[in-house]
Amino acid sequence: MAKICHLFDSKVLIYMDFPKIFSFFVNVSLILFPGIYSYSQESYNDCSKALEICPGINYTVTNVGANKTLCNDCEDDFSLCFSANNTIWLKFTTNEFGGGVNISFSKILFDGNKTQEIEAAIISAVVPCDASTYSDAGSCRVGQVSDFSLATNLAPNQEYYIVLNGGMSGNLAPGEFQTDLILSGNGVNRIVPSMDIESDKPFYCKNDIATFTAHLSQCPDSSSYMWYINDTLVAVTIDSIYQTSALENGDVVSVTNSCFTQCVIHPEGTTGMLPVFQFDIDAGPDQYMGPEGFVQLQGTTEAPSYYWSPTEGISDPNQLSTVVFPTVTTTYTLTGTLNGCTLSDQMTVFLEPLLVIPKAFTPNDDGANDTWVIPGIELYPNCTVQIYDRWGQKVFATTGYNKQKAWDGKRNGHLLNESTYFYIIELRDAEKQVLKGNVSIVK
C-alpha cells in the first residue's frame, strides 16, 4: 500500500508516493540575516545522515533551510517536550562506563524575522531514525534564547541522538539558528591514546639499516602503522617496527595509527631530525681492458683508511691509484672508513675481446657469410662504422653495429661491385679507440 510522506518547510509542500515515486525538484531557500551567513540545507537535516560529534571538539551547526519529515514512524514523528518543525540531527556514542553527559550550546544567532527559540533533546532509538522506538534520554529543553546545556546520565556503549529544532511562537515562522556546541562528561570522555617512536641508534652512517619501533598505548581498535619520512608515506606495517637504509642527513621519521572505530583519533610519534653521516668515496668509472692486459684504477676519498677488494690480481689494494690484472670481467670495490662509518663504491673492469674484423664477405644470398659480421662489436653499443669506396665516397654508415645492422654490401639498396672497400670504426670506449682497415666484397 502506498505510504504518503509530507516534507514541510515554510515554502515547499511535496507529496511522495512510494513505491511509485514522481520526479520532483526542491528549492531550499538561502536565508540571510544579521550575524548568519547564507546556508543551503545541511545533510544532517536527515536523521540517517546525523552529524557524529566527538567529545571535546567545538562544532558549529545550523538549521537554516531545514524541514521536517512527517509520516507514520518517520524520523520527525515524535512528541517529546516539543514537536518537530525544522529539525537537525546529531549523534554520539557513550564510552564503556557511561555516566554524566553534557552538551553545551553557545554563540547562538537567530533569524530576526522568525521565532527566536531553540528546542533540544537527547533521545535513544532502538531502531535508528524510527520514531516509534524513540525514548527521551532525560534532557529536553524548549524556549532557549541564549546559552544553555543538555545534561543527563546515560548508559554505556550506546548511541544517542541530539535533535535540535526551531521553536514557534504566535504567527512567526519556526526559528532558524546557528549555534556552537561541545560534548563533554564522564559518559563520553575517553582515554587519550599516545604514540612514541624509538630509533635504534643516536646517529647513522649513510646506507646503515636504521630500525624504528613505535610504542602505542591506550589505543582501542588500532589499525596498521603508517610510516613517513619527511611527511611522505614510505611504508605501512602490521607490526610496530620499520627498517630503512635510505636515510639522508636531517630526515624526520614519523608514524601514525588510528584508535577507536567512532570519532577516530590518530596519535603520532616523531623522531625529530636524524643525523646521518657520510663522506665522499668514488671508485672511478667502469673501464675496458685492452690487449695490454692491465688497467689503472683511480679512486678518490676523504677517508684516511681505505682498501680495494677483491685483492687477487691487484698490485696494492691499499692505494687509491693502483694497477689490476684481471683475467675475467671483475667488479672492484673501494671501501673507506671515517669517524666510525664505512662506505664503499664500485667500478667494473670489462675484458675487451680482441675484435677480429673479417677481411671479406660474400653477399650472394646463399645464406653463408652474406653480411659483414664483426664478432664482439656489440659490446660497444655506441660505436660508429663508416665504409668508403676507393674514390672516397661513403657507401655505408651506422651508429651501433651488430648482426642485425651488419653491412650487406649494398648502397641505397643496390649491391655494390666486387671490390675492396675501406672502413673506419670508432669504438667510443674509454680509450676512444679508432680502428681502420679494408674489407672486400667477393662474389
Same domain, 82 and 156: yes
Write phi, then psi, for 361 (nearest 5 degrees): -155, 165
Give yes or no for residue 178 having a pLDDT over 70: yes
Whether 109 maps to a domain, the answer reads: yes
Per-residue pLDDT at 37 exceeds 50: no
Q: Judge whether 379 lies within some domain.
A: yes
CB 77 within 8 A of CB 100: no
Q: Is 169 part of a structural domain of the chain? A: yes
Pick from 86-90, 264-268, 336-340, 353-357: least confident = 353-357
**Residue pLDDT, tens place only, 364-392:** 999 899 999 998 888 788 999 999 999 99
- Which CA distances in Å does 321 have to 279, 289, 335, 418? 19, 16, 14, 52
Same domain, 269 and 287: no
Half-sphere exposure of 19 (CA within 13 A, CB side): 1
Residue that terminates a domain, selected from 324, 351, 378:
351
Domain of 11, CATH number, reads 2.60.120.380
> Are 435 and 305 found together in one domain?
no
Would residue 433 count as lying in a domain? yes
Q: Does 305 share its domain with 171?
A: no
Angstrom CA distances, 327 to 83, 99, 287, 296, stand at: 96, 83, 14, 15
Helices (runs of H) and strands (runs of E) counted in the chain: 0, 36
Residues 86 and 103 in one domain: yes
Q: Do the domain assignments include residue 411? A: yes
Interacting residues of 63 by C-beta distance below 8 A, sequence separation 6+: 42, 45, 86, 87, 88, 164, 165, 166, 175, 176, 177
Say what the pLDDT of residue 74 is: 87
On whether both 55 and 26 belong to a single domain, the answer is: yes
CA distance 253 to 267: 14
- What domain range includes position 368? 360-441
Residues 85, 20: one domain?
yes
Question: Based on the domain organization, do 171 and 56 belong to the same domain?
Answer: yes
pLDDT interval class at 39 (50, 70, 90): very low
Q: Is residue 392 part of a domain?
A: yes
Grid cell 505510504 is found at 3
- By the 8 A CB rule, do 353 and 290 touch? no
Same structural domain, 38 and 145: yes
Q: Does residue 189 belong to any structural domain of this protein?
A: no
Cα radius of gyration (the chain): 41
Domain count, the chain: 4
Whether 161 and 79 share a structural domain: yes
- Asked whether the predicted pLDDT for residue 12 surpasses 70, the reply is no
| CATH number of the domain to which 412 belongs | 2.60.40
Residue 394 pLDDT > 50: yes
Question: Tens digit of pLDDT for each residue in 45-56?
Answer: 999 999 999 999
The residues that bridge with 117 in the sheet, in sequence order, are none
Domain end, chosen from 276, 310, 332, is at 276
Average pLDDT score over residue span 3-14? 33
> What is residue 288's predicted lDDT score, i.e. its pLDDT?
80
Strands 118-125 and 159-166: antiparallel
pLDDT at 352: 66
Give the span between the Cα atoms of 288 and 295, in whole angstroms.
8
Q: Is 80 exceeded by the pLDDT of residue 138? A: yes
Check residue 354 and give its pLDDT.
64
Q: What are phi and psi of 70, to 5 degrees?
A: -125, 110
Domain limit, last residue, from 319, 351, 383: 351
pLDDT (0 to 100) of residue 228? 98
Q: Say which CATH number the domain at 268 has.
A: 2.60.40.10
Indicate the residue type of 243.
Q
| Phi, psi (degrees; rounded to nearest 5) at 436 | -130, 150
313 lies in the same domain as 388: no
Same domain for 364 and 320, yes or no, is no
- Band of pLDDT at residue 272, cut at 50, 70 and 90: very high
Domain membership flag for residue 409: yes
SS3 state of residue 132: helix
Per-position b or e across 236-251, b if 16+ CB within 10 A of its CB? eeeebebebeebeeeb
Q: Is the pLDDT of residue 118 over 80?
A: yes
Q: What is the pLDDT of residues 398-422, one digit of tens each?
A: 999 999 999 999 999 999 999 999 9
Mean pLDDT across the chain, nearest whole number?
88
Beta sheet of 232-237, edge-to-edge order? 232-237, 225-229, 252-256, 268-273
**pTM, two decimal places:** 0.61
What pLDDT was estimated at residue 376?
80
